[in-house]
Every structure is written in C-alpha cells, then in structure tokens.
Amino acid sequence: MNAPTTALTRLEGIVGPGHLVTQSAELAGYEVDGLRPAAAVVPGSPDEVAGVVCFSASEKLAVIPVGGRSKLCIGAPPQRYDVAIDLTRLNRVLAYDPGDLTLGVEAGIRFRDLDGVLAAKRQFLPLAPAFADDATIGGILAANSSTPLRHAYGPARDYVLGMEFVTGEGTRAKSGGHVVKNVTGYDLHKLMIGALGTLGVVTRVNFRTFPLPRTQTTFVAAYARRENALGLCRTIAKSPLQPRLVEVLDPQAVRILSESEGGAEQPRLPAGQWLVVVTAAGEERVVERHAADLARMAQATHAAGFAALTDNENKSLLGRIREFPKHVLGFSPAATIFRISVLPTQMPALLERAQQVTDRNQIAAAALVRASGLVFLALAPPALDDSTLARLAQTATELIHASSSSDIGGRPIIEWCPTELKRQVNVWGPARDDLALMQRVKKAFDPQGVLAPGRFLGGI
C-alpha cells in the first residue's frame, strides 16, 4: 500500500493517538505470507472497528483482522493487504452467568486468560487450540481451529450461541443470541467460523460453557500395526462408552511429541508404536467403567501394552497433542500439515494411500488421527531447499488428489506450510460444489472486497 499521509492521519483519528503502528520493524509482526501492511490499527471498541472498516472500504484499502498472530500463516496468500486491524484491545469478558452456562466475550481476549476465568467457576470451553498461550477467541474461530475435545463436545459452531461483527461496509451486525435456546433468525454467525475474516470482523462471541469434570484419566494403548489401533477406535465407537477424546498417533508423531519440550512430567510413550490415547471423564465410577472396558478392548484388539497415565503425564500428553501443529513446525523448517475431514470408516484407506504417496516421494510424514473424523498428516522434511520444495509440491498435489478421490471422499486442506509451497499448490484443495454460493455470500457481506481478499477458498 502506498497510503497517503492524510489516510494514515484519518486512521489515527478513528482509533486515537498511540494506537496506529507505521514503523516497519513493528509491522513485520503483522506480515501474512511475505506481505507487510502499511499500517496496523489497534481499535478499542466495536465502533472504532466499524470506523476503520468503513474508512478502508471508502479508500479501497484491504484489511486483515488479527489477534494473537499465531495463525496468520493459515490460508492462501492475500491478494492485497494494506491495514491490519489488531483486536487485542477488545479483550473483556462482557457477560458471564455460570448458573446459566452462558458467556459473552470480546474477540481479542486470549484463550489462556479466558480459560482461567472459567476455571475459577469450574467451567471451561472445549476449544483447546494450538498456540493456546497466544491465541485469541476471534482468531481461534476465524481459523476454525480443531480441538481434541471435539470427540465429546462437537465443533465450535455447536456451542457458539451468537456473534457481533462488522461487515465489509463498516456496518455493525449481530447474529444468534445470548442464551442456549435461541430461535431469532438465521445463524449467520456460523458463516464466520473458518472464514479467516473474509466475511466480517468479529467483535463479540457468545458461548455456551461446560462444567469441568469431577475427575478424568487418560489411557494409552500401544500397537505394532495401524489396523489394530484403528480397530480399537471402531470398538469404542460401537460401545456404550463416551470418552472425552480418542486420538491416534503414528510412530513418527509419537517421536515428535516425545522429543518436544514440555513443562509437565514427560509421558512414557513407547517408541515405534501406534498409540491410541483415550480420556475418560466424569464421576469416579464412570472413569472406573472406562478403565475396565478399555483394558478388555485393548486386549481383544491385540494391544502390545495398555496403561493409565498419572495426572502429570496426562496433563503433559494432552498438552502436546493440543499443540501438535506447533511441535511439528518446530521439528521441520518445511513443515506442511494437512487437515483432512473424512468418515471414520474411510480412515484406514486414507492412511494407506497417504503412506504410499509419502513413501514414493521420499518425504517423512507423521499422522495424528481424531477418531471422530479428522486426520492431520504432517509432512516433515529436514530442510527447505529447491529439491525438497519440488518433492513437497508433488507430494501435496498427490495427497490432495488421493484424499479427495471418490472412493475415499475426504475434504483436504493444507493448514500450515511454507509460503513458497502456496505459490505452487492450492492450499484449499479442489473446488467445492458450493463455491458459487460462497462467492455470493462474500459479495453480500463485503461488496468492496476489502476483507482479507484472496485468503479463503476460491480466492474469496
């Protein structure tokens, strides 16, 4: 952006002195795929957010909303990027009724801080995002960050009750409500989840909260073969058990998580094994029932080992699983992480096909499987040179084709990868049947095309 001084002065007039960033060194922290904005504004209220967007639309300036900046590398490279709207001053708890299990917060509040507020009332939100220390509520929802707790609580759209947001014309809008049972109109706020700020700038989110379980225990079953590990998942799904999470780690994922740093007691994870991690929570007798049944199921599926973790081991392992993307990104300078939605019945075929592709292209890979229907496949080569980039591009292209083929029916996206790879591979995968409808929605919410243009699928 070659913004005139008068434009920057008007932006500062909207957000107030001291809340406009124009120094190049500070703006480097707002870069998205190598594009650096000319300015970053830090509004302190929804009205100021609306003022910034309205002004930007009138001047045809492209804006990207940001929070903790832990997920700015997710999505396609933006077509334009002039102004960053930093929402971290919008960090208040606006309404909280523990008795009614409802909560309203500003989008810039950090998950870590909100988690502490809820824990004081023995409640929580089952978001459990990667980069939990830095991530903000708005950013978590904009990226539709996955959570290990999805197995028991569903995706975020199941417990987001409503939102307030600013459209691409600078108009304040809201959708949903503040109560669990709400029938007032369409759930437009669900469109904001996963849209990377391309439809609106979220300023407030209303949630349903959940009580913390009285007790919980995590169990680990080890297997020599993938088929047996997935067999335990199928057995659990057919049983009366209702675990809090069911995750599967392949041997390379076990290695990455075992070698990563962690503050709590290191979990004892057997090397070279497929691990099924199951957490049971609730009343003590419920956990005891899970322990007995899971031990029997593990034996029936030929587990090489089955153990319950200590409290510290539980905290450490679940924290590492939550932070899987962070650990992979630290493990490999060329880390490329696929997120593939797939029916649980198709997971064995998907993992087999993925192994064939990575072996053929000689790319090291690690898999983390959410038994409810998500596979995270991390390509982790040791370097990022021209030869590796070419193999990465070939591998990524083949994986997209293989996982979205008619016999597997998965929906792949590349959540994390080097910017260089984004120039060769579409990170959103094949075009979707509803793309034309999504483009019309984008036009309705953002007629000037100023909200994070190009970052979402189909160039939205």
Q: Report the CATH number at residue 257.
A: 3.30.70.3450
Nearest alpha carbon to residue 390 among 361, 364, 365: 361
For position 263, what pLDDT does the model report? 54
Strands 39-41 and 83-86: parallel
Euclidean distance between CA atoms 192 and 209, whole angstroms: 20
Residue where one domain finishes, among candidates 294, 322, 350: 322
The answer to whether residues 172 and 221 belong to one domain is no
For position 360, what pLDDT does the model report? 97
CB atoms within 10 A of CB 324: 23
Number of domains in the chain: 3
The answer to whether residues 243 and 205 belong to one domain is no
Q: Give the residue numbers spanning the domain of 41.
A: 1-212+430-460
For position 363, what pLDDT does the model report? 96
Q: Is the pLDDT of residue 32 over 80?
A: yes
Q: Which two tokens stand for residue 112?
A: 């870590």
CB atoms within 10 A of CB 386: 8
The answer to whether residues 251 and 236 belong to one domain is yes
- Interval 119-140: pLDDT, tens: 999 999 999 999 999 999 999 9
Euclidean distance between CA atoms 243 and 218, whole angstroms: 10
For the domain that residue 38 is a member of, what is the CATH number?
3.30.465.10
Q: Is the pLDDT of residue 406 over 90?
A: yes
- Interval 170-211: pLDDT, tens: 999 999 876 544 444 467 899 999 999 999 999 999 999 999
For position 264, what pLDDT does the model report? 54
Euclidean distance between CA atoms 359 and 374, whole angstroms: 22
For the domain that residue 417 is a member of, what is the CATH number?
3.30.70.2740
Band (8; pLDDT cuts 50, 70, 90): confident
The answer to whether residues 388 and 306 belong to one domain is no
Percent of residues, the chain, with pLDDT higher than 90: 90
Residue where one domain finishes, among candidates 287, 322, 357: 322
Average pLDDT of span 88-105: 98
Q: Which residues contact 443 (CB under 8 A, 6 or more apart)?
A: none
The answer to whether residues 417 and 434 belong to one domain is no
The answer to whether residues 203 and 336 belong to one domain is no
The answer to whether residues 435 and 365 belong to one domain is no
Burial level of 240, CB count in 10 A (0-12/13-18/19+)? Answer: exposed
Handedness of CA 423, 77, 438, 378 (dihedral sign): positive
Dump the DSSP string for 358-408.
Answer: HHHHT--EEEEEETTTEEEEEE--S---HHHHHHHHHHHHHHHHHHTSTTT
For position 183, what pLDDT does the model report? 44
